[in-house]
Amino acid sequence: MEIFKQFRLFFVIFILILCAVFYRSFSNSIFRYDAAKMALPSLQGENIITEEQIPGMMDKALIIDIGCSDSVLVKSVKNINKISPDSILDKKYTRKLLKHEGPIILLSSDNSTSAKIWMLLSQKGIRNIYILSYEKEFEALKYTLKADSLSMP
Amino acid sequence: MNPYLAGVLLGVVLLMAMYISGRGLGASGGIKYCVVSLVGTLDRNHAENSVYYSKYFENGRKPLKNWLTVEIFGILAGGFFSGALSKRIKFRIEKSPKISNRRRLIFAFLGGVFFVYGAQLARGCTSGAALSGMAVLSVAGFLTMIAIFGSAYLFAWFFRKNWI
Amino acid sequence: MEIRKKISVILLILGILLAILPLSSSRSLFVNPSKLLSEVLNPNVYFTVDQTAKFIVNEDTTVRIIDLRSNEEFRKICLPGAINIPYNSFIKSDPGLYLNDKSKRNIFYSNGDFYSNYALVYARGLDYRNSYVMSGGLNEWFRMVMESKFSGERISARENSLFEIRTRAGKLFTQINTLPDSLKGKFMVSARFASRKLDGGCE
Amino acid sequence: MGPLSSSFIFPEWLDLLFAFIIGTGFGFALEQAGFSSSRKLAGMFYGYDTTVIKVFFTAAIVALIGSQLLSFFGILNMNQVFVNELYIGPAIIGGVIMGAGFIMGGFCPGTGLCALSIGKIDAMVFAAGGITGAFLFAETYPFIRKLADSGYKGPVKINESIGISSGLFTLLLIIAAVLMFWIAELAEKRFARQEITDEIGS
């Protein structure tokens, strides 16, 4: 007891620091520590899937439509959650996403929206998120430079 | 003040410097800038032609209007304030009673020459390289710290008469 | 208890805490998530390729065009004046070293829309509000600037100026990307972006 | 997020004002530690007074702990804090020269200025020596330029070159420091010089 008395002030500060550390590490309302680690799957495109891969993941996957997808698949699959991108961070949705075990698939006809939502959710510590891409090759340059384009009207 | 508490105080000042300006503390750099500025006023021609001085006058820079220079004026003010607070201000030469004033002053001068010369070479003195370097875990900081203290222990035997 | 023991105990406890914490060299996004969401969903984070083409043609110095593709791709084809920061190194090193010049707007692009938008969220999450995306990426650039042809009877003044910019930007683009490799290398070195040197030390 | 100088662009006067305030704090802390006395500083190398190592390591460790906690909470971006660049040769040779200067003069530049400010005449002579030293370096720079730029390795961090986390390295440093504090206090008893300690204290 004598020891505790001598360190009283320090212990108060230490416990405050400890609380802050716990808040920083586990709170859902702020971004997780180590942004680079959370962004890793995006480096080589591991987070991008194509339509062929979907049936294999179907039974465990949570499919989220974040913007007017009109793929054939969307019509055939029943349990699609429609969430508008503005409200994806609402508590009820994030709780659902955090709880879900297994892949989460983002659908959108606009790649930029899915990319943004992917990065945001990943930084909040939600793993296993995938983006469905309708393009065969991810981030490929579809055009080549033609020398004659100099002679434009 | 108790040395450990003074250490904590110094650490907090260092942390403040890192937070405010993203840099550590430094003293020898300020001395250098004073010299550069002095040479610049006395012999502008020489300063502009020399490989060393010229880089401090590029684009109309003023060596006196510099973070490091102002910082050493701060050191003087802070030291004076603390000395006044603890009633230690007094003109005197501090030395071992076994040596003469002259000997003490000659060695103090030589010490200054060596210390600042070495600090220019190592890009920082005990505060700029060793202390600030250790606080950001830089290898340079640890290496300089070991070199300074190691060599001081090595030479301590030769100069023992000056001190004990 | 004497003060040495006291300070030793305190430092050791804090040291153990530090050793447990996941302190890697990286950091986390710190802007409030909901605020970041509404910020990045706002359409004003986009520049169209036409707007970007105008910046390029006018050599606008208030924007900096950042190419997030790999270095090989960049060497093969790039926008005039673009700076190459491959997405990998953008994430793994500290983006602040590249972005902290607040007087400039940074416009990200990649081939498609993925890398540039990841980078946008990442950069804005680190509170670099001067980050934008060239919407559609290089593919859109080719489609709009390089391969667009005017088809119609009459041309309005607005369309005319638009096409003029496209033509000029297209010419510049072709010129730079058809340079022989040796010359191109030289050009890119000069355009390469040096990360900011930090102040400090006793130099 | 800090450092403030990278988030806001300070006007020059504010930047310099901060420099002055930080300098004042620095000078105050050094003087309060008793570093305005050369005999106290030199005591480190003869064992009768080990204040130097206590202050030095406590300060470095407090700054280390503080900066890492701040960086963990997203208050300070450590990637924007200057890390001293490593030039192997100059660091060692310069360090050895500084060590010699330390034992001759009894001050280092920071403590010398501090002692000067409270009227120590030897410190004034030391500072004059320092100015001479800086001048000599500038004049001899063309001859030693090669040496001064040799062994450049960039801003390497020690924990990264060993391959452990910075927190773990800090813990190891703290353990080392705690042991050193203990040895230092033993040494102070073993090599005690009552007459010197009394005189410094006065």
Chains A and B touch (3+ CB pairs under 8 A): no
Closest CA to B30 of D58, D27, D122: D27
DSSP state of A32: P
- Residue-wise pLDDT for A120-136, tens only, equals 999 988 888 999 887 77
Say yes or no to pLDDT of A152 above 50: no
Question: Mean pLDDT over residues C55-72, rounded?
Answer: 90
Written as one letter, the residue type at A120 is L
pLDDT over 90, % of chain A = 14
Regarding whether A26 and A42 lie in a shared domain, the answer is no
Q: Is residue C7 part of a domain?
A: no
Over chain A, what is the mean pLDDT?
Answer: 82
Return d(Cα A62, Cα A132) in angstroms, integer.
Answer: 12
Q: Is residue A124 part of a domain?
A: yes
Regarding whether B2 and B36 lie in a shared domain, the answer is yes
Closest CA to D64 of C160, C66, B15, B82: B15
Say yes or no to pLDDT of A73 above 80: no
Domain that holds residue A13: 1-30
What residue segments make up the domains of chain D, in order of their start? 9-201
Regarding whether B66 and B36 lie in a shared domain, the answer is yes
Say yes or no to pLDDT of D195 above 80: yes
CA of B100 to nearest chain C CA: how many angstroms apart?
35
Regarding whether B83 and B38 lie in a shared domain, the answer is yes
Regarding whether A64 and A11 lie in a shared domain, the answer is no
The residue out of B90, B121, B156 marking a domain boundary is: B90
| Confidence label for C153 from pLDDT (cuts 50, 70 and 90) | low
Helices assigned H by DSSP within chain C: 3-20, 33-41, 49-57, 71-76, 87-92, 96-99, 114-125, 137-141, 157-177, 181-191
Which of C18, C124, C196, C203 has the most D C-beta neighbours within 10 Å, making it the best mutation to test the interface with D? C18
Question: Mean pLDDT over residues D148-162, rounded?
Answer: 89
Regarding whether B80 and B19 lie in a shared domain, the answer is yes
Contact check, Cβ <8 Å, B131/D134 = no
| Confidence label for C162 from pLDDT (cuts 50, 70 and 90) | confident
Domain that holds residue C84: 33-200
DSSP state of D153: E
Q: Is residue C18 part of a domain?
A: no
Return d(Cα D180, Cα D52) in angstroms, integer.
Answer: 12
- CA distances to A53, A62, A80, A97, D31 from A101, rounded to whole Å, are 18, 9, 16, 8, 60
Q: Which of residues D140 and A4 earns the better pLDDT score?
A: D140
Tokens of A19: 């609380």
Return d(Cα A89, Cα C78) in angstroms, integer.
Answer: 36
**How many folded domains does chain B comprise?**
2
| Confidence label for C129 from pLDDT (cuts 50, 70 and 90) | confident
Q: What is the structure's pLDDT at A151? A: 43
Q: Is residue C22 part of a domain?
A: no
Chains that touch B (3 or more CB pairs under 8 A): C, D
Task: Pick B26's closest partner by Cβ from C3, C4, C202.
Answer: C202
Q: Quick one: how far is CA D134 from the chain centroid?
A: 18
- Scored b (16 or more CB within 10 A) or e, D114-131 reads bbbbbbbbbbbbbbbbbb
CA of D170 to nearest chain B CA: how many angstroms apart?
9
Q: What is the structure's pLDDT at D127? A: 95
- Strand bridging mode A129-132 / D152-154: unpaired
Q: Is residue C68 part of a domain?
A: yes
Instruction: Name residues whose C-beta falls within 8 Å of residue C23's C-beta, 6 or more positions apart in sequence.
Output: D68, D71, D72, D165, D166, D167
Written as one letter, the residue type at B156 is A
**Would an 8 Å CB–CB cutoff place A111 in contact with chain C?**
yes
Closest CA to B151 of D92, D96, D88: D96
Chains that touch D (3 or more CB pairs under 8 A): A, B, C
Q: What is the structure's pLDDT at A150? A: 46
**Would an 8 Å CB–CB cutoff place B157 in contact with chain D?**
no
Chains D and C touch (3+ CB pairs under 8 A): yes
Say yes or no to pLDDT of C144 above 90: no
**How many folded domains does chain A comprise?**
2
Which of D53, D57, D104 has the most B C-beta neighbours within 10 Å, making it the best mutation to test the interface with B? D104
Regarding whether A17 and A72 lie in a shared domain, the answer is no
Return d(Cα D53, Cα C181) in angstroms, integer.
Answer: 59
Q: Is residue A19 part of a domain?
A: yes
Q: Is residue C191 part of a domain?
A: yes
Q: Which of residues D132 and C162 earns the better pLDDT score?
A: D132
- In DSSP terms, D151 is beta-bridged to none
Q: What is the structure's pLDDT at C126? A: 85
Q: Tens-digit pLDDT profile for chain B (164 aa)? A: 899 999 999 999 999 999 999 889 988 999 999 999 999 889 888 888 888 888 888 777 788 888 999 999 999 999 999 999 999 898 989 888 889 999 999 999 999 999 999 999 999 989 999 999 999 999 999 999 999 999 999 999 999 888 88
Regarding whether B109 and B55 lie in a shared domain, the answer is no
Check if the beta carbon of residue D190 is closer than 8 Å to that of residue D47: yes
Regarding whether A118 and A43 lie in a shared domain, the answer is yes
Regarding whether A65 and A19 lie in a shared domain, the answer is no
Place of tokens 């509404």: C38
Rounding to the nearest 10 degrees, give the CA dihedral for residues B48, B49, B53, B56.
Answer: 40
Exposed/middle/buried for D91, CB within 10 Å: 0-12, 13-18, 19+? Answer: buried
Regarding whether A57 and A8 lie in a shared domain, the answer is no
Task: Pick C199's closest partner by Cβ from B8, B22, B128.
Answer: B22
Asked if the peptide bond before residue C80 counts as cis, ω within 30 degrees of 0, the response is no
Over chain D, what is the mean pLDDT?
Answer: 91
Q: Choose the weakest-confidence range: B26-30, B135-139, C191-195, D169-173.
A: C191-195
Check if the beta carbon of residue B25 is closer than 8 Å to that of residue D75: no
Tokens of B148: 């300074």
Q: Choose the weakest-confidence range: A75-84, B131-140, B152-161, D87-96.
A: A75-84
Q: Is residue C17 part of a domain?
A: no
* Residues in C touching D74 (Cβ below 8 Å): 27-28, 30
Q: What is the structure's pLDDT at C10? A: 92
- Residue-wise pLDDT for D35-84, tens only, equals 999 999 999 999 999 999 999 999 999 999 999 999 888 888 887 889 99
Task: Pick A116's closest partner by Cβ from C1, C120, C174.
Answer: C120
Domain that holds residue B129: 93-164
Regarding whether A111 and A40 lie in a shared domain, the answer is yes
**Which of D9-13, D181-185, D190-194 is the most confident on average?**
D181-185
Regarding whether B79 and B33 lie in a shared domain, the answer is yes
